[in-house]
Amino acid sequence: MIPLLRAEWRKVTTVKLGWGMLLGAMALAALGVVAQIASNGASGNIALPLSAAATQKSIAASASSAYLFSVVVGIILITTEFRHFTSRPTFLIEPRRGRVIVAKLIIAALVGIIYGVICAALTAAIMAIWLGALGVTIGWIDNGVLLSMLSDLVVIATFAIVGIGVGVLVRNQIAAVISALVYLFVLEPLIEIIPVIQKAYPYLPGAAAGAITGASRGNLPHLDALQGGLVLLGWGLLFAVAGWMLMIRRDIP
């Protein structure tokens, strides 16, 4: 297993893919923090004052938006193998396909965690400087800000794993990335507002992620953080197992 993990890690670090995606994730996280702090107290903004625990947790949850990038990174890590046929030497050297896919899942989760740590650190830095300048104390522990950031990591890593599963299922890189983004940006919000099926909404991956980090949108009843966490991990497991099974059964291109 160690040789496979080293090989998969090298695949990540020897191409440029990572940097662009990471910058995107950082920009989105920073945007979330800045927007929430800047708009706080503006007319029409119903958010509680900056000193409130709920507000601080919500600002900290900005880092979790990196999951939009980590799911794409997961997809790219696996579909790149099919696209450029590096799947061939990979499975020639290790024909036990289950092991390869497990190594891939672990490395994808690790990349997700690294993204998460960097985005959380960026979020924390902006919060500390800006709120400090405004004279607002941050309850890192008391207000659950750190905990919120830790749960961001879980969300981001889980979405990287989901990305691997989606990539194995769809195989075509562009199609897989587009399906994932269309699902998250269009389909899931649609399900949220269609009366008959909206009951299922809280159990969907994006909504579960929102429940964990406290970044939940809308005013439907949603799951609490622990329930959301369990539901999201369930999705991660489902995609990991589906990817694993398909990888073992189907021919390698």
Partner 1 sequence: MSPEATSIEGRIVATDLTKVFGQVKAVDGLSFSVEPGSVTGFLGPNGAGKTTTLRIILGLAAPTSGSGTISGVTYAHLPAPGRTVGAVLEATSFHPGRSARNHLRVFCAAAGLSDKRADEALELVGLTQAARFPVRGFSLGMRQRLGLATALLGNPRVLLLDEPANGLDPEGIAWLRGLLRHFADVDGRTVLVSSHVLSEVEQTVDRVVIIARGRLIYEGRLADLEGASAGVVVRTPTPEQLSAALAPLNVKVTGRPDGAVAVVGATPEAVGHAAWEAHIEVHELRSGSSSLEETFLRLTADAGDPPAAPV
Decide: is 110 part of the binding site for partner 1 (CB under 8 A): no
CA dihedral over 173, 179, 181, 184, signed as positive or negative: negative
54: contact with partner 1 by CB under 8 A: no
Which of 6/199 has CB closer to partner 1?
A: 6
Task: Examine residue 106 and tell whether it contacts partner 1 (CB under 8 A).
Answer: no
- Closest CB 16 distance from partner 1, rounded Å: 6
Is 133 near partner 1 (CB under 8 A)?
A: no
CA distances 253 to 72, 77, 97, 180, 229, Å, are 21, 16, 13, 22, 35
Pick 18 or 234: Cβ nearer partner 1 = 18
- Run of H or E residues at 159: helix 145-170
Would you state the structure tokens that stand for residue 57, as one six-digit string? Answer: 């947790």
Chain position carrying tokens 């923090």: 33
Contact 213, 64 (CB under 8 A): yes
76-95 residues near partner 1, rule: CB under 8 A: 80, 84-95
Judged by DSSP in three states, 179 sits in: helix
- Beta carbon of residue 78, minimum distance to partner 1 (angstroms, whole number): 13
Binding mask 6-45 for partner 1 (x = CB under 8 A): xx--xx--xxxx----------------------------
Listed residue (14, 123, 9, 11) closest to 66, CA to CA? 123
Min CB(9)–partner 1 separation in Å? 8
17/47 with CB nearer partner 1:
17
Task: Compute the distance between CA of residue 217 and CA of residue 220 in angstroms, rounded to an integer.
Answer: 9
- Under rule CB under 8 A, residue 219 binds partner 1: no
Asked if residue 247 binds partner 1 (CB under 8 A), the reply is no
Spatial separation of the C-alpha atoms in residues 175 and 157, rounded to whole Å: 22
Q: Does 1 interact with partner 1 (rule: CB under 8 A)? A: no
Task: Pull the structure tokens for residue 212.
Answer: 């964990």
Binding of partner 1 by 174 (CB under 8 A): no
Applying CB under 8 A, the site for partner 1 has a residue count of: 26
List of residues contacting partner 1 (CB under 8 A)? 3-4, 6-7, 10-11, 14-17, 80, 84-96, 251-252
